[in-house]
Amino acid sequence: MPYNVLIVDDSKTIRSIIIKTLKLTKLDIGEIYEAANGKEGLECIQNHRVHVILSDLNMPVMSGLEMVSTMAEDGILNDIPVIVVSTDGSTRRIEELKRKGVREYIRKPFTPEGIGEAIDRVLGVKHE
Amino acid sequence: MSENEYKDITLRTVMEVLEQTAFVFPEPADMIDGVSFDDLKFIMVTLGFTGDKQGRVKMILATDFCAELAANLLGEELDETLPEENNYDSAKEMLNIISGQLLTRIFGDEALFSLSAPDVEPIASEKLFSLIDSADYALCMVDEYPVITMFALEEARSNEHQSIGS
Protein backbone atom coordinates (compact mmCIF):
# COMPACT_ATOMS: atom_id res chain seq x y z
CA MET A 1 0.00 0.00 0.00
CA PRO A 2 1.46 3.39 -0.90
CA TYR A 3 1.88 5.78 2.02
CA ASN A 4 0.95 9.44 1.72
CA VAL A 5 3.43 11.70 3.49
CA LEU A 6 3.04 15.28 4.68
CA ILE A 7 6.21 17.36 5.09
CA VAL A 8 5.88 20.40 7.36
CA ASP A 9 8.87 22.75 7.24
CA ASP A 10 9.22 26.46 6.58
CA SER A 11 12.33 25.85 4.52
CA LYS A 12 11.55 25.01 0.89
CA THR A 13 15.07 23.64 0.63
CA ILE A 14 14.53 21.15 3.44
CA ARG A 15 11.14 20.11 2.02
CA SER A 16 12.83 19.44 -1.33
CA ILE A 17 15.65 17.48 0.33
CA ILE A 18 13.16 15.35 2.29
CA ILE A 19 11.17 14.63 -0.90
CA LYS A 20 14.35 13.50 -2.65
CA THR A 21 15.35 11.47 0.41
CA LEU A 22 11.94 9.75 0.56
CA LYS A 23 12.40 8.67 -3.04
CA LEU A 24 15.71 7.04 -2.10
CA THR A 25 14.11 4.87 0.60
CA LYS A 26 12.58 1.43 0.00
CA LEU A 27 9.19 2.77 1.05
CA ASP A 28 6.16 2.67 -1.21
CA ILE A 29 5.45 6.39 -1.23
CA GLY A 30 2.15 7.66 -2.59
CA GLU A 31 1.30 11.35 -2.49
CA ILE A 32 3.71 13.81 -0.91
CA TYR A 33 2.11 16.95 0.49
CA GLU A 34 3.98 20.06 1.65
CA ALA A 35 3.15 22.66 4.30
CA ALA A 36 5.21 25.66 5.42
CA ASN A 37 3.98 25.65 9.05
CA GLY A 38 1.82 23.76 11.53
CA LYS A 39 -1.35 25.61 10.55
CA GLU A 40 -0.96 24.65 6.91
CA GLY A 41 -0.16 21.12 8.06
CA LEU A 42 -3.43 20.88 10.00
CA GLU A 43 -5.35 22.20 6.98
CA CYS A 44 -3.68 19.58 4.79
CA ILE A 45 -4.67 16.63 6.98
CA GLN A 46 -8.27 17.87 6.99
CA ASN A 47 -8.36 17.75 3.20
CA HIS A 48 -6.16 14.76 2.37
CA ARG A 49 -5.53 11.23 3.56
CA VAL A 50 -2.11 11.39 5.20
CA HIS A 51 -0.42 8.33 6.71
CA VAL A 52 2.59 9.98 8.32
CA ILE A 53 3.85 13.52 9.00
CA LEU A 54 7.49 14.63 8.96
CA SER A 55 7.62 17.97 10.77
CA ASP A 56 10.12 20.60 11.79
CA LEU A 57 9.76 22.27 15.21
CA ASN A 58 10.59 25.95 14.80
CA MET A 59 8.32 27.53 12.23
CA PRO A 60 6.50 30.84 11.93
CA VAL A 61 2.69 31.04 12.36
CA MET A 62 2.42 27.67 14.13
CA SER A 63 5.28 25.53 15.45
CA GLY A 64 5.55 21.78 15.08
CA LEU A 65 4.86 21.32 18.78
CA GLU A 66 1.67 23.42 18.59
CA MET A 67 0.55 21.34 15.62
CA VAL A 68 1.16 18.13 17.59
CA SER A 69 -0.75 19.51 20.59
CA THR A 70 -3.73 20.44 18.39
CA MET A 71 -3.69 16.99 16.80
CA ALA A 72 -3.63 15.41 20.28
CA GLU A 73 -6.61 17.57 21.40
CA ASP A 74 -8.49 16.59 18.24
CA GLY A 75 -7.74 12.92 18.91
CA ILE A 76 -5.97 12.30 15.61
CA LEU A 77 -2.40 11.91 16.84
CA ASN A 78 -2.79 8.13 17.19
CA ASP A 79 -4.12 7.86 13.63
CA ILE A 80 -1.45 10.00 11.97
CA PRO A 81 1.99 9.52 13.52
CA VAL A 82 4.29 12.53 13.64
CA ILE A 83 8.05 12.25 13.15
CA VAL A 84 9.96 15.39 14.13
CA VAL A 85 12.91 16.31 11.91
CA SER A 86 14.95 19.00 13.65
CA THR A 87 18.39 20.40 14.32
CA ASP A 88 17.79 20.29 18.07
CA GLY A 89 19.77 17.49 19.71
CA SER A 90 18.78 18.00 23.35
CA THR A 91 17.72 14.83 25.12
CA ARG A 92 15.42 16.97 27.30
CA ARG A 93 13.68 18.28 24.16
CA ILE A 94 13.34 14.78 22.72
CA GLU A 95 11.82 13.47 25.98
CA GLU A 96 9.37 16.41 26.00
CA LEU A 97 8.35 15.65 22.40
CA LYS A 98 7.82 11.97 23.17
CA ARG A 99 5.65 12.91 26.16
CA LYS A 100 3.55 15.11 23.86
CA GLY A 101 2.96 12.18 21.51
CA VAL A 102 5.70 12.57 18.89
CA ARG A 103 6.56 9.04 17.79
CA GLU A 104 10.04 9.44 16.34
CA TYR A 105 12.78 12.04 16.29
CA ILE A 106 15.27 12.50 13.45
CA ARG A 107 18.12 14.91 13.81
CA LYS A 108 19.44 16.97 10.91
CA PRO A 109 21.57 16.18 9.01
CA PHE A 110 19.66 13.01 8.21
CA THR A 111 20.18 10.07 5.87
CA PRO A 112 17.71 8.19 3.65
CA GLU A 113 18.21 5.18 5.94
CA GLY A 114 17.33 7.22 9.04
CA ILE A 115 14.16 8.60 7.46
CA GLY A 116 13.16 5.21 6.00
CA GLU A 117 13.70 3.32 9.25
CA ALA A 118 11.76 5.90 11.29
CA ILE A 119 8.78 5.70 8.93
CA ASP A 120 8.98 1.88 8.97
CA ARG A 121 8.84 1.90 12.76
CA VAL A 122 5.85 4.25 13.10
CA LEU A 123 3.87 2.57 10.33
CA GLY A 124 4.91 -0.97 11.31
CA VAL A 125 6.21 -1.65 7.80
CA LYS A 126 8.10 -4.90 7.28
CA HIS A 127 10.32 -5.27 4.21
CA GLU A 128 10.72 -8.72 2.55
CA MET B 1 36.95 25.08 27.54
CA SER B 2 39.67 27.23 25.97
CA GLU B 3 39.24 29.69 23.11
CA ASN B 4 41.14 27.33 20.81
CA GLU B 5 38.95 24.38 21.76
CA TYR B 6 35.80 26.38 20.89
CA LYS B 7 37.37 27.33 17.58
CA ASP B 8 38.38 23.74 16.82
CA ILE B 9 34.89 22.43 17.57
CA THR B 10 33.33 25.16 15.41
CA LEU B 11 35.67 24.39 12.52
CA ARG B 12 35.17 20.62 12.77
CA THR B 13 31.39 20.99 12.97
CA VAL B 14 31.20 23.32 9.95
CA MET B 15 33.41 21.03 7.89
CA GLU B 16 31.52 17.86 8.84
CA VAL B 17 28.07 19.35 8.20
CA LEU B 18 29.17 20.77 4.83
CA GLU B 19 30.57 17.37 3.88
CA GLN B 20 27.56 15.37 5.04
CA THR B 21 24.82 17.62 3.71
CA ALA B 22 26.26 19.43 0.72
CA PHE B 23 28.89 16.89 -0.37
CA VAL B 24 31.66 19.47 -0.54
CA PHE B 25 35.08 18.95 0.99
CA PRO B 26 36.30 21.93 2.99
CA GLU B 27 39.90 22.40 4.04
CA PRO B 28 40.91 24.26 7.22
CA ALA B 29 42.58 27.58 6.37
CA ASP B 30 44.29 30.54 7.94
CA MET B 31 44.16 34.19 6.86
CA ILE B 32 47.94 34.35 7.00
CA ASP B 33 48.01 31.82 4.16
CA GLY B 34 46.73 34.60 1.91
CA VAL B 35 43.04 33.89 1.39
CA SER B 36 41.68 35.91 -1.52
CA PHE B 37 38.43 37.81 -1.16
CA ASP B 38 38.78 39.52 -4.52
CA ASP B 39 35.93 39.38 -7.01
CA LEU B 40 33.60 37.76 -4.49
CA LYS B 41 30.38 39.11 -2.97
CA PHE B 42 29.48 37.92 0.50
CA ILE B 43 26.45 37.42 2.69
CA MET B 44 26.31 36.98 6.44
CA VAL B 45 23.81 34.56 7.96
CA THR B 46 23.09 35.09 11.66
CA LEU B 47 21.27 32.83 14.09
CA GLY B 48 20.59 33.64 17.74
CA PHE B 49 20.14 31.07 20.48
CA THR B 50 18.65 31.33 23.95
CA GLY B 51 18.20 28.80 26.73
CA ASP B 52 20.86 27.38 29.03
CA LYS B 53 23.25 29.86 27.38
CA GLN B 54 22.61 32.60 24.90
CA GLY B 55 24.54 33.93 21.96
CA ARG B 56 24.88 34.01 18.21
CA VAL B 57 26.38 31.99 15.40
CA LYS B 58 27.36 33.87 12.25
CA MET B 59 28.48 32.45 8.97
CA ILE B 60 29.94 34.49 6.11
CA LEU B 61 29.72 32.92 2.68
CA ALA B 62 30.36 33.98 -0.90
CA THR B 63 27.15 34.37 -2.88
CA ASP B 64 28.61 32.16 -5.62
CA PHE B 65 29.19 29.44 -3.04
CA CYS B 66 25.55 29.77 -1.87
CA ALA B 67 24.47 28.87 -5.40
CA GLU B 68 26.68 25.76 -5.34
CA LEU B 69 25.40 24.91 -1.89
CA ALA B 70 21.78 25.12 -3.05
CA ALA B 71 22.48 22.97 -6.11
CA ASN B 72 24.33 20.34 -4.06
CA LEU B 73 21.74 20.25 -1.29
CA LEU B 74 18.96 19.75 -3.79
CA GLY B 75 20.99 17.38 -5.96
CA GLU B 76 20.44 19.58 -9.01
CA GLU B 77 22.59 21.22 -11.63
CA LEU B 78 23.92 24.67 -10.80
CA ASP B 79 21.43 27.18 -12.21
CA GLU B 80 23.08 30.58 -12.42
CA THR B 81 19.89 32.18 -13.71
CA LEU B 82 18.14 31.79 -10.37
CA PRO B 83 17.90 34.94 -8.21
CA GLU B 84 20.48 34.99 -5.41
CA GLU B 85 17.71 35.07 -2.80
CA ASN B 86 16.68 31.56 -3.85
CA ASN B 87 20.05 30.30 -2.72
CA TYR B 88 19.92 32.01 0.66
CA ASP B 89 17.43 29.50 2.03
CA SER B 90 20.13 26.84 1.67
CA ALA B 91 22.66 29.00 3.53
CA LYS B 92 20.13 29.59 6.32
CA GLU B 93 19.36 25.89 6.63
CA MET B 94 23.07 25.07 6.66
CA LEU B 95 23.65 27.46 9.57
CA ASN B 96 20.62 26.03 11.35
CA ILE B 97 22.05 22.51 11.16
CA ILE B 98 25.56 23.68 12.09
CA SER B 99 24.25 25.59 15.11
CA GLY B 100 22.23 22.63 16.39
CA GLN B 101 25.25 20.35 16.15
CA LEU B 102 27.61 22.96 17.60
CA LEU B 103 25.51 23.64 20.69
CA THR B 104 25.26 19.93 21.52
CA ARG B 105 29.00 19.42 21.00
CA ILE B 106 29.91 22.38 23.21
CA PHE B 107 27.28 22.15 25.96
CA GLY B 108 26.27 18.47 25.85
CA ASP B 109 23.09 16.50 25.10
CA GLU B 110 21.24 17.74 28.17
CA ALA B 111 21.46 21.45 27.35
CA LEU B 112 18.27 23.03 26.05
CA PHE B 113 18.20 25.84 23.51
CA SER B 114 15.77 27.69 21.29
CA LEU B 115 17.15 28.80 17.96
CA SER B 116 15.91 31.88 16.15
CA ALA B 117 15.13 31.86 12.45
CA PRO B 118 18.37 32.73 10.62
CA ASP B 119 18.70 36.18 9.04
CA VAL B 120 20.63 36.91 5.87
CA GLU B 121 22.23 40.21 4.92
CA PRO B 122 24.73 41.22 2.25
CA ILE B 123 28.04 42.19 3.81
CA ALA B 124 30.45 44.71 2.31
CA SER B 125 34.19 43.96 2.29
CA GLU B 126 34.94 46.70 4.85
CA LYS B 127 32.48 45.26 7.35
CA LEU B 128 33.72 41.74 6.67
CA PHE B 129 37.33 42.70 7.40
CA SER B 130 36.31 44.73 10.42
CA LEU B 131 34.42 41.71 11.80
CA ILE B 132 37.26 39.27 11.35
CA ASP B 133 39.66 41.77 12.89
CA SER B 134 37.55 42.09 16.00
CA ALA B 135 36.27 38.57 16.70
CA ASP B 136 37.38 34.96 16.79
CA TYR B 137 36.39 32.92 13.80
CA ALA B 138 36.85 29.52 12.22
CA LEU B 139 37.90 29.57 8.59
CA CYS B 140 37.76 26.85 5.98
CA MET B 141 37.96 26.88 2.22
CA VAL B 142 35.71 25.08 -0.21
CA ASP B 143 37.69 25.30 -3.44
CA GLU B 144 38.28 29.05 -3.81
CA TYR B 145 35.47 30.06 -1.47
CA PRO B 146 36.20 31.07 2.13
CA VAL B 147 33.63 30.02 4.76
CA ILE B 148 33.95 32.03 7.96
CA THR B 149 32.05 31.00 11.08
CA MET B 150 31.82 32.92 14.36
CA PHE B 151 30.42 31.59 17.61
CA ALA B 152 29.84 34.10 20.41
CA LEU B 153 28.23 33.82 23.80
CA GLU B 154 26.35 36.78 25.24
CA GLU B 155 25.83 37.75 28.84
CA ALA B 156 22.18 37.16 29.69
CA ARG B 157 21.88 40.19 31.98
CA SER B 158 24.03 42.91 30.52
CA ASN B 159 23.47 41.82 26.93
CA GLU B 160 27.15 42.42 26.27
CA HIS B 161 28.78 40.26 23.68
CA GLN B 162 31.43 37.89 24.88
CA SER B 163 33.88 36.28 22.54
CA ILE B 164 34.23 32.54 22.57
CA GLY B 165 36.37 31.24 25.36
CA SER B 166 36.70 34.62 27.03
Domain span holding position B117: 3-154
**What pLDDT, on a 0 to 100 scale, did the predictor assign at position A126?**
61
Euclidean distance between CA atoms B55 and B6, whole angstroms: 14
Average pLDDT, chain B: 87
Q: How far is B21 from chain A (nearest CA, A)?
A: 6
Contacts of B67 in chain A (CB under 8 A): none
pTM of the model: 0.88
- The DSSP code sequence of B34-84 is T---TT--EEEEEEEEEESSEEEEEEEEEHHHHHHHHHHHHT----TTS-H
Domain count for chain B: 1
How many CB pairs (< 8 A) connect A and B? 57
Average pLDDT over residues A24-31: 90
Q: Quote the ipTM score.
A: 0.85
Residue B62 lies inside a defined structural domain of this protein = yes
pLDDT bracket for residue A24 (50, 70, 90): confident
Contacts of B100 in chain A (CB under 8 A): 86-89, 107-108
Q: Residue B126: what pLDDT? A: 87
Closest by Cβ to B115, choosing from A17, A58, A109: A58
**Is B75 among the domain residues?**
yes
User: Per residue in A97-128, pLDDT tens?
Assistant: 999 999 999 999 988 889 999 999 999 866 55
Domains of chain A: 3-123 (3.40.50.2300)
CATH number of the domain to which B61 belongs? 3.40.1550.10
Q: Is residue B166 part of a domain?
A: no
| pLDDT tens-place string over residues B3-58 | 788 899 999 999 999 999 888 999 999 876 677 788 899 999 999 999 999 999 99
